């Protein structure tokens, strides 16, 4: 009954290092691991109370990169199975809503942060945020979407709620060659929007971004120079993974009444902006949080994704690795060299 998992813990003696350092390593565990308290006495879902899952796929998001590389701010208890995405099959359930054989998906909801996650052959989760995998989506494509795809869909839906549609004008996607960005470009272009993709890899990934549906590809350097708080308007809306100066520039370039969905902080958590875009152009800044999304929003977003899941483009934007390649891929995603989505086939 043993299984393999990427466990984040204080690890010493690797690579000649004397001092213990936090990182994710591949370990072999048994089910007792799920009932061990670790350094936090708040209870975790156990094999008796939670939903036990045979994991088929997980994925690597930026947050998984931070967790596995041992960077602060993501993992809040040790030891912890990493992985903010889970796709798999229920094997046992202490929650009456779930039964053995159910095909399920779960993104965020504390996985890989304060609860055991999906970078494992087996995991145990709380049934409250779990979703039945729509039949139109294969488990592999559900992982190709993962938190990044779920977040990109939440961002598209947030723009739509503000009345933005394909005829509103150009939509900008920043961090476009990354996970959230790639899926956002694909979803928006499929929905009929004209999309500009901003990337630090415009020269090398321009063809990739155009194949996903971008009408125009620009160098992100255009957005990274501090500028005036109001600039010539270029975009009806934007989906931003970067934050920082780049988000301030985007806000300064949004047309009257336009909206920006703020998803991430790959370039920084600060926002060196002014209120001028809001009070002089009626610009809206929309927050997107996939981790704590209520169940009704999760269901709505995954229903929309089910309509997109047959897309061959989803395969084009994803790469598959095994569990043993997770630590090196974690470093690569933090270095900004990973393109699109990385599926982890845990078997
Ligand atoms: P990825 O690493 O896959 O994509 C991020 C992209 O941002 C990179 O590919 C790169 O794109 C660009 N980038 C990276 N570093 C920098 C930098 N220093 N300056 C400018 N651009 C940079 O990550 P994800 O798509 O998984 O996540 C993107 C962001 O969104 C992260 O901050 C993540 O934490 C956040 N996030 C938030 C969620 C939420 O619920 N709000 C959910 C999921 C993610 P390019 O090479 O094209 O320029």
CATH number of the structural domain spanning residue 49: 3.90.180.10
State which residues form the domain around 129: 3-133+317-345
Q: How confident is the model over 128-171, as pLDDT tens digits?
A: 999 999 999 999 999 999 999 999 999 999 999 999 999 999 99
Write the residue with the smallest CA distance to atom 38 of ligand 1.
Answer: 263
b/e string for 33-52 if b means 16 or more Cβ within 10 A? bbeeeeeeeeebbebeebbb
Residue 15 reports pLDDT greater than 90: no
30 and 90 together in one domain: yes
**Residue 267 beta carbon below 6 angstroms from any ligand 1 atom:** yes
The ipTM value here is 0.99
7 and 129 together in one domain: yes
What CATH number has the domain bearing residue 223? 3.40.50.720
State the Cα–Cα distance between residues 163 and 161, nearest whole angstrom.
5
120 and 45 together in one domain: yes
pTM (whole model) above 0.90? yes
105 and 229 together in one domain: no
Residue 16 reports pLDDT greater than 80: no
Q: What pLDDT score was predicted for residue 183?
A: 97
What does each C-alpha distance from 234 to 182, 214, 222, 270 come to in angstroms?
21, 16, 12, 23
122 and 29 together in one domain: yes
Contact 276, 124 (CB under 8 A): no
Q: Is 311 part of a structural domain of the chain? A: no
**Residue 182 beta carbon below 6 angstroms from any ligand 1 atom:** no
**Residue 197 beta carbon below 6 angstroms from any ligand 1 atom:** no
For residues 303-309, give the mean pLDDT.
87
State the Cα–Cα distance between residues 35 and 55, nearest whole angstrom.
19
15 and 93 together in one domain: yes
Q: How confident is the model over 60-94, as pLDDT tens digits?
A: 999 999 999 999 999 999 999 999 999 999 999 99
39 and 96 together in one domain: yes
Identify the three-state secondary structure at position 320.
Answer: strand
Q: What pLDDT score was predicted for residue 36?
A: 84
Residue 37 reports pLDDT greater than 90: no
Q: Is 300 part of a structural domain of the chain? A: no
Q: How many domains does the chain have?
A: 2
321 and 260 together in one domain: no
Residue 100 reports pLDDT greater than 80: yes
Residue 309 reports pLDDT greater than 70: no
**Residue 148 beta carbon below 6 angstroms from any ligand 1 atom:** yes
Q: Is 205 part of a structural domain of the chain? A: yes
Q: What pLDDT score was predicted for residue 13?
A: 67
């Amino acid at each position: 009954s043993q299984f393999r998992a990427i466990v984040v813990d204080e690890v010493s003696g690797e690579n000649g290092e004397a001092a213990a350092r936090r990182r994710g390593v591949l370990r072999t565990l048994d089910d007792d691991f799920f009932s061990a308290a670790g350094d936090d006495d708040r209870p975790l879902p156990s094999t008796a109370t939670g939903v036990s899952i045979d994991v088929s796929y997980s994925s690597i998001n930026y947050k998984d990169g931070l967790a596995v590389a041992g960077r602060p701010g993501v993992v809040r208890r040790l030891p912890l199975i990493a992985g903010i995405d889970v796709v798999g099959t229920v094997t046992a359930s202490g929650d009456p809503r779930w039964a053995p054989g159910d095909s399920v998906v779960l993104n965020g909801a504390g996985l890989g942060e304060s609860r055991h996650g999906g970078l494992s052959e087996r995991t145990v989760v709380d049934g409250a945020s779990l979703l039945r995998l729509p039949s139109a989506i294969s488990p592999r494509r559900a992982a190709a979407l993962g938190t990044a795809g779920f977040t990109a869909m939440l961002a598209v839906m947030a723009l739509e709620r503000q009345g933005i549609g394909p005829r509103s004008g150009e939509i900008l996607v920043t961090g476009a060659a990354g996970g959230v960005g790639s899926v956002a470009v694909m979803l928006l272009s499929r929905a009929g929007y004209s999309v500009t993709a901003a990337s630090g890899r415009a020269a090398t990934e321009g063809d990739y971004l155009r194949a996903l549906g971008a009408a125009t590809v620009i160098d992100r350097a255009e957005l990274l120079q501090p500028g005036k708080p109001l600039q010539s308007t270029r975009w009806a809306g934007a989906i931003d993974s970067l934050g920082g100066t780049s988000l301030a520039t985007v806000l300064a370039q949004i047309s009257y009444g336009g909206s920006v969905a703020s998803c991430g902080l790959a370039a920084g958590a600060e926002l060196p902006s002014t209120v001028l875009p809001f009070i002089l152009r009626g610009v809206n800044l929309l927050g997107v949080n996939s981790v704590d999304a209520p169940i009704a929003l999760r269901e709505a977003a995954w229903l929309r994704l089910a309509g997109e899941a047959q897309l061959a483009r989803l395969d084009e934007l994803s790469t598959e690795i095994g569990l043993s390649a997770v630590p090196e891929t974690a470093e690569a995603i933090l270095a900004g060299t990973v393109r699109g989505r990385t599926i982890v086939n845990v078997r």
